[in-house]
A and B are shown apart, each in its own frame.
Chain A
């Protein structure tokens, strides 16, 4: 499935960045503003760090023109990794720390490293500018350490021609999804693709099922990779693997992947708005055959939810003007700001995933010629954004355990172990890593 594997996610976030993210710094403030007195003391200059090469600067220029209280300087970084390196250096040096940084790692990682400051006070007043998913994603332990940042809600695209050819209904639940897979297999068609290197599909499914791999209980983490919700997610994927109902094409071999997607031999995939341009370019023969649908739900779901995560941008510890950073972030939700991010080359604005109703902008993200019905596809994108969960706590040591999850997932997808065994192994790894790091935790029963 087309999942937000780390790199794709960051690529998408880079685009999201034009609406939601940037960083601001206390660095070259012409007037030193203390406390909340930014307005009183005159314009405050803050630095915003991000890697939005296309429109980062033009958005900032529009902001600087739109008001007189805050002057933002956009410091363009080469990439996600470069941002992290430069940011770590600035933090080590204790100088030149920006005031807003595009999220380059999960928010809890930022908090654990002492990089993000608590901006609850500044954010709470403007919560109504954002949708629920954005607000949820910006919190750790009930406090805002991140700026509300939009998550990309997942929806489901199917090759309608393939479904019609074999007279199969589009599944609405994950149980039906597995059944559909069995039906299609009879015709030599895979229900979807499961890349062996990318466990983010499992993470999304667990998030959708309501899993909490990490939660905070007082002064310790509760680790739970094998709770009922996660096992429900595993129960969807396990038969797909066991009965060989999916393919395992790698993302590394992109030409082969698109050729396969395009061949009609892969019936469906989950995706999100920022993948559509790539799909439009890559899918030539099957252009116009695809239709968008809500992502399948778990049969016992009380209400429809869509998986989706983000790496929120944050205000670094040491920034003296968090209110200026929040003011800039708030401004990014305005129609004026969204319009200022229009890409001169492509003519498109970035999809504002953080605002409560992005429907005015959805036409711009539906590429021409991919879908049977563009309008219906647009509606699915909006619905996916409305129901996006946003928050999926990844705990204090995500960078450490994600490669282990990749290893275990690879083995499970190859049929060497079961998904439950894989998840148990990851949980054991998490426990030993937290032990070695001296972080308190308990493993849920």
Chain B
């Protein structure tokens, strides 16, 4: 941050409200260890910082503390005292054993590979479709755009579990409207079949994420200076050319953001497969995705120590994946 030298100068000369009389700092005479002088600048800073207090308190209580607890939990192991298991449990320090086990856990990494491949399709598709919609909205008149914006954002407002239930009924081969719809075109599509489960979930995920991503990109498009468009038009560029050569490069920063959010969400895939599990139980097992496996370990198997270790590993993977994507998309133009 640049420092305004004029203000700095003023701060030295002007009397400070609330400061003790004769409060001018005497250079070189301030003994070490004394509390720094309480001037208006400090007061302003404290005041400003205090505004972040509610956030910091929440962040500490609901993020930092649980992360600390999870890290602590992940280096212990809980075992029964033996026999029938009726005699209580003993907790012992296990070091990095849980992490070592997690790093070679075939089920966990198979789940990771699954969501990774799924993300390879769903994330770019979401971005491309959202961008296309944002560009269309940007090309439309403001009033029309506002209406569509709300309609497209509606799916995002529906909670994930509810959305999944709604779609399960849409997909239902017996009572859903989609099966007869495809039949009308001579297509026999069963959204409940094992081979279709990824498509069924992917469609649902894109439907849910489209509005939000589109809104961010649309917002970014609004800040593109309009003179450039006019200049381009004068040079004879078509609307498509303007979109591809001017608008898209301008929203790249926002695309990085939406892609990252999309990747983080996709790697943590949980509620959709959890519900689709009932529909295709032979495909979607209890450890189908990393998040499902963590849930199973924590709340079914009852191995909280291992579950938290897996959570930490998942968080690291998501972090590394995000960093790579960030570097990849956000690299400087040569």
The stretch from B11-19, B81-89, B204-212, B241-249 touching chain A is: B81-89
- The answer on a CB contact under 8 Å between A220 and B172 is no
- The answer on a CB contact under 8 Å between A250 and B278 is yes
Residues of A close to B81: CB separation below 8 A: 438
Complex Cα gap A259–B301 (Å) = 36
Interface residues on A, range: 35 or more
For chain B, residues 53 to 79, give those with C-beta under 8 angstroms from any C-beta of chain A: 79
B277 at the interface (CB under 8 A from A): yes
The stretch from A35-43, A151-159, A175-183, A398-406 touching chain B is: A398-406
- The answer on a CB contact under 8 Å between A219 and B83 is yes
B138 at the interface (CB under 8 A from A): no
Residues of A close to B282: CB separation below 8 A: 196, 410-411, 413-414, 416
Min CB distance A432 to B, Å, is 11
Residues of B close to A255: CB separation below 8 A: 169, 172, 174-175
A221-B88 in contact given A399-B301, A406-B286 (Cβ < 8 Å): no
A407-B79 in contact given A414-B194, A440-B84 (Cβ < 8 Å): no
- The answer on a CB contact under 8 Å between A220 and B301 is no
Most buried by A among B173, B280, B282, B299: B282
Min CB distance B219 to A, Å, is 37
- Contacting A220 at CB < 8 Å: which of B84, B88, B296? B84
Residues of B close to A436: CB separation below 8 A: 79, 303
Query: What residue in chain A is nearest B164 (Cβ atoms)?
Result: A252
A92 at the interface (CB under 8 A from B): no
B24 at the interface (CB under 8 A from A): no
Main secondary structure of the interface of B (DSSP, over half): loop
Residues of B close to A220: CB separation below 8 A: 83-84
- The answer on a CB contact under 8 Å between A410 and B281 is yes
- Contacting B174 at CB < 8 Å: which of A260, A403, A439? A260
B300 at the interface (CB under 8 A from A): yes
Complex Cα gap A206–B216 (Å) = 56
- The answer on a CB contact under 8 Å between A439 and B302 is no
A66 at the interface (CB under 8 A from B): no
- The answer on a CB contact under 8 Å between B194 and A197 is no
A308 at the interface (CB under 8 A from B): no
Complex Cα gap A411–B282 (Å) = 4
- The answer on a CB contact under 8 Å between A407 and B300 is no
Min CB distance B324 to A, Å, is 33
- Contacting A400 at CB < 8 Å: which of B82, B88, B194, B302? B302
Residues of B close to A411: CB separation below 8 A: 281-282
- Contacting B84 at CB < 8 Å: which of A114, A260, A406, A439? A439
A252-B278 in contact given A260-B174, A403-B286, A403-B300 (Cβ < 8 Å): yes
A437-B286 in contact given A196-B281, A255-B175 (Cβ < 8 Å): no
For chain A, residues 389 to 445, give those with C-beta under 8 angstroms from any C-beta of chain B: 396-397, 399-400, 402-404, 406-407, 409-411, 413-414, 416, 433-434, 436-440
B222 at the interface (CB under 8 A from A): no
- The answer on a CB contact under 8 Å between A252 and B275 is yes
- The answer on a CB contact under 8 Å between B82 and A438 is yes
Query: What residue in chain B is nearest A216 (Cβ atoms)?
Result: B84
A251 at the interface (CB under 8 A from B): yes
B217 at the interface (CB under 8 A from A): no
- The answer on a CB contact under 8 Å between A396 and B278 is no
- The answer on a CB contact under 8 Å between B168 and A252 is yes
Query: What residue in chain B is nearest A195 (Cβ atoms)?
Result: B278
Residues of B close to A219: CB separation below 8 A: 83-84
B80 at the interface (CB under 8 A from A): yes
Query: What residue in chain A is nearest B173 (Cβ atoms)?
Result: A256
B279 at the interface (CB under 8 A from A): yes
- Contacting B80 at CB < 8 Å: which of A253, A413, A414, A437? A437
For chain A, residues 285 to 337, give those with C-beta under 8 angstroms from any C-beta of chain B: none
- The answer on a CB contact under 8 Å between B86 and A112 is yes
- The answer on a CB contact under 8 Å between B300 and A400 is yes
- The answer on a CB contact under 8 Å between A440 and B296 is no
- The answer on a CB contact under 8 Å between B83 and A406 is no
A259-B175 in contact given A400-B301, A406-B286 (Cβ < 8 Å): yes
Residues of B close to A260: CB separation below 8 A: 174
- Contacting A253 at CB < 8 Å: which of B86, B168, B194, B285? B168
- Over the window 89-120 of chain A, the binary record of Cβ atoms lying under 8 Å from chain B Cβ atoms (1 yes, 0 no) is 00000000000000000000001101000000
Min CB distance B291 to A, Å, is 15
Min CB distance B315 to A, Å, is 23
B156 at the interface (CB under 8 A from A): no
- Over the window 172-210 of chain A, the binary record of Cβ atoms lying under 8 Å from chain B Cβ atoms (1 yes, 0 no) is 000000000000000000000001110000000000000
B229 at the interface (CB under 8 A from A): no
- The answer on a CB contact under 8 Å between A439 and B277 is no
A228 at the interface (CB under 8 A from B): no
B250 at the interface (CB under 8 A from A): no
Residues of B close to A252: CB separation below 8 A: 168, 275, 278-279
Complex Cα gap A406–B82 (Å) = 28
A396-B169 in contact given A253-B279, A416-B282 (Cβ < 8 Å): no
- Contacting A437 at CB < 8 Å: which of B79, B173, B174, B175? B79
Query: What residue in chain A is nearest B288 (Cβ atoms)?
Result: A407
B118 at the interface (CB under 8 A from A): no
A141 at the interface (CB under 8 A from B): yes
Min CB distance A4 to B, Å, is 16
Complex Cα gap A433–B296 (Å) = 13
For chain A, residues 114 to 144, give those with C-beta under 8 angstroms from any C-beta of chain B: 114, 141
Query: What residue in chain B is nearest A145 (Cβ atoms)?
Result: B86
For chain A, residues 65 to 89, give those with C-beta under 8 angstroms from any C-beta of chain B: none
Min CB distance A394 to B, Å, is 13
**23 A-B residue contacts at CB 8 Å?**
A111-B86, A141-B84, A195-B278, A196-B280, A196-B282, A197-B279, A220-B84, A250-B278, A252-B168, A253-B169, A253-B174, A255-B174, A255-B175, A396-B80, A396-B84, A399-B300, A399-B301, A399-B302, A404-B286, A406-B281, A407-B286, A436-B79, A438-B81
| CB-CB nearest 10 A-B residue pairs | A410-B281, A256-B174, A438-B79, A414-B282, A252-B278, A439-B85, A403-B286, A396-B85, A400-B301, A197-B278
Please list the residues of chain B having a beta carbon within 8 angstroms of any beta carbon in chain A. Answer: 79-86, 88, 168-169, 172-176, 192, 194, 275, 277-282, 285-286, 296, 299-303
In the complex, besides A112-B85, A253-B174, A400-B302, 19 extra interface pairs with C-beta distance below 8 angstroms are A112-B84, A196-B281, A253-B168, A253-B172, A253-B279, A255-B174, A255-B175, A396-B86, A399-B299, A399-B301, A407-B285, A411-B282, A414-B281, A437-B85, A437-B302, A439-B82, A439-B83, A440-B82, A440-B84
